[in-house]
């Protein structure tokens, strides 16, 4: 179970496997979805995660931004749990650490808001 290595994160910028990203992104074990946008901007709904639901990871790590401005609807958390997906949400700097630790232990996907 391994995934991508997040080498660094700072406001608006993440370096993954030597590549620099400046838009929100989702890290799948075998792919990176850059320019990840949510229908409601700073609100995360289940409709924003179709590929995550399809892939059914054990854990979804959500980076909620440097100031934790990305809000996860309770209905989203409940639906993910119904699919057997544990949600770990934290400000993005902490979420990066969770993702890098968990990815080698469990099937993990990371969804990261890079700014606010």
Q: Which two tokens mark 35?
A: 């320019």
Report the run of H or E that residue 14 belongs to, with start and end: strand 13-16
In the chain, which stretches have pLDDT less than 70?
1
- Count CB atoms within 10 A of the CB of residue 105: 11
- Which sequence spans correspond to the domains of the chain? 6-112
Q: Where are the alpha helices (DSSP H) in 1-91?
A: 50-55, 74-82
What is the DSSP secondary-structure string of 22-36?
-S-EEEETTEEEES-
CATH fourth-level superfamily of 6-112: MTH938-like (3.40.1230.10)
CA–CA separation, 53 vs 49, rounded Å? Answer: 6
Q: For position 3, what pLDDT does the model report?
A: 83
């Amino acid at each position: 179970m391994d995934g991508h290595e997040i080498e660094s994160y700072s406001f608006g910028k993440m370096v993954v496997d030597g590549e620099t990203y400046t838009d929100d992104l989702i890290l799948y074990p075998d792919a990176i979805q850059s320019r990840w946008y949510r229908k409601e901007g700073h609100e995360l709904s289940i409709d924003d995660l179709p590929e995550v639901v399809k892939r059914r990871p054990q854990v979804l790590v959500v980076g909620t931004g440097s100031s934790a401005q990305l809000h996860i609807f309770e209905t989203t958390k409940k639906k993910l749990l119904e699919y057997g997906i544990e949600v770990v949400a934290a400000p993005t700097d902490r979420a990066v650490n969770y993702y890098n630790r968990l990815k080698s232990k469990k099937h993990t996907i990371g969804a990261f808001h890079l700014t606010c």
